[in-house]
Chain A
């Protein structure tokens, strides 16, 4: 158990380090941010002063070392565009993104769990079909397009929900549905297929033979076991959420991390890009680690000794 834990933690740290190297050097591949942030007629000495102020005149390895050694201590540097510490910039945005993610995941689970179970129980019948349509829709619609269609229908035509911004609970509905639909497609497929598997198992037959109510057999005995694969999906789910948060937050002008990184990319604001990618990767990596560990707790058959 301890060897497994240590190997996984070391692996995660290594992955995080590779992410930091990649994003640091990728961000510098096309030249310096003074091209994007200073006016085209800026004097060479101004450019020089600008580069000096952000340490961009130093050799690239020195820049990397300065950045990573401070990042480890929690100092991600200062944003070039907004002139405040990157961590202060990221903090509130991260909270906004997490709020949206929570709404999306809640919606997704509330929709996908019952639908997946009912689809498995009523295999091939009406509810299975409905679940399939929702699932296929979620997998084939690009999130930015779904977002625009929701805006078109509910904000432009019906005028019942706000199209952009954040403030009241109404602002959460459209972006929440946009992101939730995607995740729910995956959860539903997983719940359905693992429910189908579990419902065939001996202990379910036993539960029925014992005379338990069908409701209790399905929602307690079967679902508890069918839920295990869904847990492993959580890490993956966050990946999807982050992916779709960039487009979704851009469409809904949501003041979250997705929009922040997009704006930073457009302005070549290196410290912000690096900071956001690093934090996001860290979240995904830590989540995957937790999932691996929880998996062992939920299903004792999984041995944690293999590396």
Chain B
């Protein structure tokens, strides 16, 4: 007789059925907004400079042109222009690329690092566990934005630096979540069976335990995207984000701040974009949570 060692993969299959079952409850408008923004951001290179003016193309004849239907506007600049006559729509599209890239990369790194540490802490236990969890506690009691600001400003603002700082702020939540789940999963029979069959620790963690908690990681990641975008924009707004002339939503709002009385659209439009996208991500995140793992309500 042959003993099958495969872990119950049901946990991975069932969510697909669940996804189909809960699909009607997907906030469609939010999903459409996200899809549109992500596609536009991905295709920024094709749009700006061809269909639209290039994001950094200066045109001093059209300084501070208002958005389209208003008096003094032109159809060439649908969302108006800034103090150098650069097209706001183009800058917002390239800004979307930067802002989304920072948030998504940071969350990917944080999830990878946090999940790995959580797996190790939960499975090995002992002093490794204590050490990692103490670090988690410390990370979670920091005034996060302040530390981020200190790091970015002192080490120097760059794309990589902003991603690294955000990831540093976020990993602890994954570690805590994953560790908690590992503690219960590792008591299950298939883990014991795998041990009896002589699987290596690495194999048990990667093949038998990880697939059982990947859902929670996905849920946490989706819920954090909105937060990532807001923090990135706050850093940019303070001049500690991806450095100019590269536009991000945050530094576009910052540019608009000084000319609020004569060119309100420079601050209003990118801010509206942030709000709309973050709202959409939050609503879709709630839906993903309900679909994949409703027990994570408290997140």
- Bound-state CA distance A181–B81 (Å) is 31
Interface contact A156-B141, CB-CB below 8 Å: no
**Cβ-closest chain B residue relative to A12:** B141
- Bound-state CA distance A285–B282 (Å) is 29
Stretch from A65-73, A166-174, A273-281 forming part of the interface with B: A273-281
| Contact A281 B238, CB 8 Å, known A148-B257, A149-B271, A265-B149 | no
Chain A residue contacts of B253, Cβ below 8 A = 142, 144-145, 148
Q: Contact partner of A277 among B150, B238, B239, B260, CB < 8 A?
A: B150
Chain B residue contacts of A137, Cβ below 8 A = 275
Interface contact A30-B155, CB-CB below 8 Å: yes
Interface contact B238-A142, CB-CB below 8 Å: no
Among B90-148, those with CB < 8 Å from A are 134, 137-138, 141-147
- 13 additional contacts, CB 8 Å, given A140-B226, A280-B146? A11-B137, A14-B134, A26-B155, A29-B155, A30-B156, A139-B226, A139-B282, A148-B260, A247-B234, A261-B149, A265-B154, A266-B239, A277-B147
**Cβ-closest chain A residue relative to B280:** A140
| Contact A140 B278, CB 8 Å, known A243-B143, A262-B238 | yes
Interface set of B (CB-CB < 8 Å, partner A): 134, 137-138, 141-147, 149-151, 153-156, 226, 230, 233-234, 237-240, 250, 253, 256-257, 260-261, 264, 267-268, 271, 274-276, 278-279, 282-283
Determine how close the nearest CB of chain A comes to the CB of B230; give it in whole angstroms. Answer: 5
Chain A residue contacts of B238, Cβ below 8 A = 246-247, 250, 262
Determine how close the nearest CB of chain B comes to the CB of A60; give it in whole angstroms. Answer: 14
- Bound-state CA distance A243–B142 (Å) is 11
A192 at interface by CB-CB < 8 Å: no
- Bound-state CA distance A142–B274 (Å) is 8
**Cβ-closest chain B residue relative to A147:** B257
Determine how close the nearest CB of chain B comes to the CB of A289; give it in whole angstroms. Answer: 10
Chain A residue contacts of B151, Cβ below 8 A = 26
How many chain-A residues does the 8 Å CB contact rule pick out? 45
- Bound-state CA distance A142–B141 (Å) is 22
- Give the interface SS of chain B, mostly helix, strand, loop or mixed: helix
A19 at interface by CB-CB < 8 Å: yes
Interface contact B143-A242, CB-CB below 8 Å: yes
Determine how close the nearest CB of chain A comes to the CB of B141; give it in whole angstroms. Answer: 5
- Bound-state CA distance A251–B149 (Å) is 16
Interface set of A (CB-CB < 8 Å, partner B): 11, 14-15, 18-19, 22-23, 26-30, 136-137, 139-145, 148-149, 151-152, 156, 239, 242-243, 246-247, 250-251, 261-262, 265-266, 268, 273, 277, 280-281, 284-285, 288
- Contacts between chains A and B (CB distance < 8 A), count: 130
Determine how close the nearest CB of chain A comes to the CB of B229; give it in whole angstroms. Answer: 9
- Bound-state CA distance A251–B260 (Å) is 12
- Bound-state CA distance A148–B275 (Å) is 14
Q: Which 5 A-B pairs have the closest CB atoms?
A: A145-B271, A243-B145, A140-B279, A140-B278, A265-B153
Interface contact B153-A266, CB-CB below 8 Å: yes
- Give the interface SS of chain A, mostly helix, strand, loop or mixed: helix
- Bound-state CA distance A29–B161 (Å) is 13
Q: Contact partner of B150 among A26, A142, A149, A247, CB < 8 A?
A: A26
Determine how close the nearest CB of chain B comes to the CB of A238; give it in whole angstroms. Answer: 9
**Cβ-closest chain B residue relative to A144:** B237
Chain B residue contacts of A281, Cβ below 8 A = 141-143
Among A19, A23, A30, A243, chain B packs the most CB atoms within 10 A around the CB of A243
- Bound-state CA distance A247–B256 (Å) is 15
10 residue pairs from A and B, CB less than 8 Å apart: A15-B138, A141-B275, A144-B237, A144-B250, A148-B257, A242-B145, A247-B234, A266-B153, A280-B146, A285-B141
- Bound-state CA distance A11–B264 (Å) is 48
Determine how close the nearest CB of chain B comes to the CB of A143; give it in whole angstroms. Answer: 7
- Bound-state CA distance A149–B283 (Å) is 23
Determine how close the nearest CB of chain A comes to the CB of B109; give it in whole angstroms. Answer: 19
Interface contact B142-A19, CB-CB below 8 Å: yes
Interface contact B146-A145, CB-CB below 8 Å: no
Chain A residue contacts of B264, Cβ below 8 A = 152, 156
- Bound-state CA distance A243–B235 (Å) is 11
- Bound-state CA distance A27–B240 (Å) is 15
- Bound-state CA distance A148–B274 (Å) is 14
Determine how close the nearest CB of chain B comes to the CB of A136; give it in whole angstroms. Answer: 6
Q: Contact partner of A142 among B154, B257, B271, CB < 8 A?
A: B271
Among B142, B151, B253, chain A packs the most CB atoms within 10 A around the CB of B142
